[in-house]
Amino acid sequence: MTHTQGETPLVSERQAETQPRINVVILGAGKGGRALLESFLNLPRIHLIGVADKDEKAPGLKLARRHHIPTTQDALPLIQQPDIHLIVDVTGDPSFSQNIYRHKHPNAEVLGGAASKVLWDIIQHESLMQTRLFQAEKLAGMGTFASGIAHDINNPLYIILAMAEAIQDETDTASIHQYATSIRDAAQRIQTISQNITHYARASQSEESFPVPVQETLDEALKIAKFATKFHEITVIQNYHDHITIDSKPEELLQVFVNLMINAIHAMENQGLLTLTAENQNGVVLVSIADTGKGISAEHLPKIFDPFFTTKAPGKGTGLGLYNVRSIVRKYKGELTVDSQVGKGTIFSIVFPSVDPTHK
């Protein structure tokens, strides 16, 4: 069973533009008129013919001028125009409404009185909802981001803890030296992550990618995955083709491989075959990580890339691993697919678009 990362279909707003235009006039440019105008400006079908208010400093008139919509202090000539479909009266002046009916073109409909108040209430409510939604999205984004960071920092932290424990029981100086080197490397990786966050916070897109050797990165990822899991009875097969590179940031590529390997090892419950493949096929790079684990059910398969989807026990997994993997793969224009059979195993394959020509 194969599942490819889903692309959200684009919904075109142009459809609305092909529908007939509605020519609208707004009478009254105070708070209500301004709010209406603001909403109407976002609706492609609505064509604003003009806005009127006795007070030339009314906020709605200012906004209309900024958008090059005709404004006037004298509403009557405006509403006589023959091409108007709708006059929205938010003047709040009942005596003026009779004037409108007397002077308007017969084809123009009028929305006034209680109806225009209801419309205004709806718009106010929607604008409040938009503000709340925007804030909720910002908060949700922060949560996802924070959990993503925690997730990425955990891997090198595992190494630091494991190595520090090993040093406590070690008397051989050569081994201690080796453990200390691993601790330094892991700490440097945390430093890179924290530097990335600073970049992210500054919304800087100046990320430098360069041809990163795939084989070394897979080996490095395997080391990390071994530390982060109980790896006792897992056999690793490495089908590498030499000198394959992927244009990327090395720590991001590493993050992809580590996540896929840890998932594979967990799925095998510490026993099985982990096959790592990296090959160059007609100018594209194919990397796959296959396991002989428990597989993914048809019910779970469409959900595994969703943020926070996990089948692990509470506290054991954040469900952000594959979500992060997919984000990184997409960033490098790669394609991530998964093929799984329950009880037999799973293979995650990534196709990266092109290989640096000097490294073929």
Ligand X SMILES: Nc1ncnc2c1ncn2[C@@H]1O[C@H](COP(=O)(O)OP(=O)(O)OP(=O)(O)O)[C@@H](O)[C@H]1O
Interface with Mg ion (CB under 5 A): 263, 321
**Contact set for ligand X, span 43-62 (CB under 6 A):** none
Contact with ligand X (CB under 6 A) among 264, 274, 286, 328: 264
DSSP string, 11-68: PPSHHHHHSPPEEEEEE--SHHHHHHHHHHHT-TTEEEEEEE-SSTT-HHHHHHHHTT
**Contact set for ligand X, span 269-308 (CB under 6 A):** 291, 293-296, 300, 304
For residues 315 and 143, the answer to whether their CB atoms sit within 8 Å is no
| Least distance between ligand X and beta carbon 297 (Å) | 9
CA dist 360 and 344 (Å) reads 34
Residue 110 or 320: the one with the smaller Cβ distance to ligand X is 320
Nearest partner of 65 among 37, 39, 43, 85, judged by Cα: 37
Residue 58 or 261: the one with the smaller Cβ distance to ligand X is 261
Contact with ligand X (CB under 6 A) among 170, 241, 317, 359: 317
Residue 115 or 146: the one with the smaller Cβ distance to ligand X is 146
Buried b (16+ CB within 10 A) or exposed e, 151-178: bbbebbbbbbebbeeebeeeeeeeeeee
312 near ligand X (CB under 6 A): yes
Contact with ligand X (CB under 6 A) among 23, 72, 263, 349: 263
CA dist 75 and 28 (Å) reads 9
Retrieve residue 289's tokens.
Answer: 């990580």
- Sign, Cα dihedral of 202, 198, 332, 137: negative
| Least distance between Mg ion and beta carbon 344 (Å) | 20
Residue 53 or 291: the one with the smaller Cβ distance to ligand X is 291
Q: Which does 312 bind (CB under 5 to 8 A by kind): ligand X, Mg ion, none?
A: ligand X
Residue 295 or 334: the one with the smaller Cβ distance to ligand X is 295
CB proximity list for 200: less than 8 A, separation 6 or greater: 145
**Contact set for ligand X, span 151-190 (CB under 6 A):** 151
For residues 84 and 90, the answer to whether their CB atoms sit within 8 Å is no
Q: Which one of 59-67, 132-140, 181-189, 256-264 is the stretch in contact with ligand X (CB under 6 A)?
A: 256-264
Sequence length of the chain is: 360
Residue 63 or 304: the one with the smaller Cβ distance to Mg ion is 304
Q: Which residues bind ligand X (CB under 6 A)?
A: 151, 259, 263-264, 267, 291, 293-296, 300, 304, 309-312, 317-323, 346
